[in-house]
Amino acid sequence: MKFLPRLLSRIIRAGTLTLTTPNGRVHEFRGSAPGPHVKLRITDPSLDWKIFFSPELAGAEAYMDGTLIVEDGDAYSLLQLIFLNKGDFDNSPGQRFWYAIGLAFRRYLQYNPLSKAKKNAGHHYNTGNDFYRMWLDEDMQYSCAYFPTGQETLEQAQVLKKRHIAAKLGLAPGQKVLDIGCGWGGMALYLAAVADVEVTGVTLAEEQLKIAQARAKAAGLEDRVTFELRDYRNITETYDRVVSVGMLEHVGVTHLGEYFRKVQDVLKPDGVALIHSISSRTPPSVTGPFLRKYIFPGGYAPSVSEAMRSVEESGLWLLDSEIWRVHYAPTLMHWRQRFMARRDEAVARYDERFARMWEFYLAACECAFRYGDSHVFQFQLGRDRAAMPLHRDYVAGAAATLAAREAEAIPRINAATRSVFGETGGVPHPAVAAEFENT
């Protein structure tokens, strides 16, 4: 082997990497800065040039295939080592080449018209409700939780996230709320039960929709919450409030303007929207090839500048903006630990390669928020500059009011969720097994 050792000798500046090649030869790459010590063994000689030519994708696929084996450490420690050396990693020839290609074709790669949006959503979310049930919190929140002290449990932090967003929406009983990208319905059910509003949630994932509808019925909230299989671009009604958590990442760079214009269109004159999205402190970029191919086809977390430009062009007022810098790292840590505790079930339901893919994905995302450039923004938007108070003092008071109402509402929603999963079994979408068999 000559290419891979040459690459690693240029990359490792922090921590230590010990590599055993297929012929049994051992190479050690020791950085001068502190970091984890990871021992790797590769069993496929072709990885010598494959990883050199395409480090990010070929390395991830080798881990998925079991031809790149972490003998001392795990996927997280490997990715921690990579992120601690990310500057040199990203400057490697293969990474620079594929980044340039991705940047040149990003409008095509992130093109997400109506004809593709449902398929892209189904690729990820139709994996099977029981799969996500293994490692998400009780309310099935698949977005960044809120850890104000860092000591919260995942369940507590997800409640705090919903409470914080609801407080910033400035809700009043009886208002009509649109939830764009409603997932399994947790945010919509919380708003209806705790804030006494009427909510319409839209999603393109059929498996999520079934659970959301069943949860609303089981919780006795079907008179206040409606869930629909519907693209946000087809919404024509108007609403007092719009909430969208973790949806903007699925819009695609060519559709950001369309998305924010739709938010503007569906808001009443005094309406308010809260848009919560993954983003980055860096300029506009591209989705990595591993995430693009295996996890979120058509997905892209826009930079703040990209999103803000589309907000400005929509005519909406930016009433407030908030950055959550590290909150997603502990969220992903909890998910990863819960997934690993039940990893055997994922292997039994799918296969070893699928489990390795998710292990790698969760570890990579956690490192991106803990060591990389990723963060989360919340845009509070309105058609009228006077739609919300001119200071943030109201948020604490609104949150306290919501907290007082949660004692009855949350156990009711959670009990409904448990009954729904007991009844449905969360059977995977039929297309999922075939998709992974052919990958």
Which one of 1.10.1660, 2.60.40, 3.30.1050, 3.40.50 gives the CATH number of domain 3-104?
3.30.1050
Residue 262, number of CB atoms within 10 A of its CB: 22
List where CATH 3.40.50.150 sits in the chain: 114-437
Mapped onto helix, strand or coil, the DSSP state of residue 134 is: coil
Distance, CA of 405 to CA of 95 (rounded, Å): 51
Asked whether the predicted pLDDT for residue 436 surpasses 60, the reply is no
pLDDT tens, residue by residue, 247-256: 999 998 889 9
Residue 295 DSSP symbol: I
Mapped onto helix, strand or coil, the DSSP state of residue 342 is: coil
Q: Give the model's pLDDT for residue 121.
A: 65
Asked whether the predicted pLDDT for residue 44 surpasses 50, the reply is yes
Asked whether the predicted pLDDT for residue 439 surpasses 90, the reply is no
For the chain, first and last CA: distance in Å?
A: 28
Q: Give the model's pLDDT for residue 187.
A: 98
- Where do the H-state alpha helices sit in 267-392? 289-290, 304-314, 328-341, 343-349, 352-370
Q: Domain 114-437 carries which CATH code?
A: 3.40.50.150
List where CATH 3.30.1050 sits in the chain: 3-104
Task: Tell me which of 103 and 197 has the higher pLDDT.
Answer: 197
Please report how many Cα atoms fall inside a 13 Å half-sphere around the Cα of residue 262, on the Cβ side.
21
pLDDT tens, residue by residue, 199-211: 999 999 998 999 9
Q: Give the model's pLDDT for residue 2.
A: 85
Task: Note the residue count of the chain.
Answer: 439
Burial 386-412 (b: 16+ CB within 10 A, else e): ebbeeeeeebeebbeebeeebeebbee
| pTM: predicted TM-score of the whole model, two decimal places | 0.92
Q: Give the model's pLDDT for residue 424.
A: 46
Distance, CA of 279 to CA of 275 (rounded, Å): 12
Mapped onto helix, strand or coil, the DSSP state of residue 76 is: helix
Asked whether the predicted pLDDT for residue 194 surpasses 80, the reply is yes
Q: What percent of the chain has pLDDT over 70?
A: 92
**CB-CB contact of 187 with 223 (8 Å):** no
Burial 288-318 (b: 16+ CB within 10 A, else e): bbbbbebbbbbbbbbbbebbbbbbeebebbe
DSSP string, 171-208: --TT-EEEEES-TTSHHHHHHHHHH--EEEEEES-HHH
pLDDT tens, residue by residue, 213-272: 999 999 999 999 999 999 999 999 999 999 999 999 999 888 999 999 999 999 999 999
Q: Give the model's pLDDT for residue 297.
A: 86
Q: Give the model's pLDDT for residue 414.
A: 94
Q: Give the model's pLDDT for residue 184.
A: 97
Asked whether the predicted pLDDT for residue 311 surpasses 60, the reply is yes
| Long-range pairs, 102-107, Cβ under 8 A, ≥24 | 102/286, 102/287, 102/289, 103/285, 103/286, 106/253, 106/286, 106/287, 106/300, 107/253, 107/254
pLDDT classification of 299: cutoffs 50, 70, 90: confident
Residue 241, number of CB atoms within 10 A of its CB: 25
Please report how many Cα atoms fall inside a 13 Å half-sphere around the Cα of residue 354, on the Cβ side.
21
Q: Does the active-site annotation cover 182?
A: no
Mapped onto helix, strand or coil, the DSSP state of residue 371 is: coil
Residue written as tokens 């991705």? 102
pLDDT tens, residue by residue, 107-153: 776 666 666 666 666 666 667 899 999 999 999 999 999 999 999 99
Residue written as tokens 């845009």? 379
**CB-CB contact of 228 with 212 (8 Å):** no
The region of weakest confidence among 133-147, 153-167, 387-401, 420-434 is: 420-434
Q: How far is CA 196 from the centre of its chain?
A: 28
Facing residues of 245 across strands? Answer: 276
For 56, residues 6+ apart whose C-beta sits below 8 A from its C-beta are: 95, 98, 288, 289, 290
Mapped onto helix, strand or coil, the DSSP state of residue 24 is: coil
Distance, CA of 149 to CA of 160 (rounded, Å): 11
Pairing between strand 68-72 and 33-42? antiparallel
Distance, CA of 120 to CA of 106 (rounded, Å): 16
- In this prediction, residues 160-172 reach a mean pLDDT of 98
Phi, psi torsion values for 387, nearest 5 degrees: -65, -25
Q: How deeply is 9 buried, as exposed, middle or buried, from its count of CB atoms within 10 A (0-12, 13-18, 19+)?
A: exposed
For 325, residues 6+ apart whose C-beta sits below 8 A from its C-beta are: 375
Share the mean pLDDT of the chain.
Answer: 91
Asked whether the predicted pLDDT for residue 427 surpasses 90, the reply is no
Residue 337's closest CA among 37, 140, 76, 36? 76
Q: Give the model's pLDDT for residue 425.
A: 41
- Where do the H-state alpha helices sit in 225-327? 256-266, 289-290, 304-314
Q: Give the model's pLDDT for residue 246.
A: 95
- In this prediction, residues 389-416 reach a mean pLDDT of 95
Q: Give the model's pLDDT for residue 103.
A: 73
Q: Give the model's pLDDT for residue 435.
A: 40
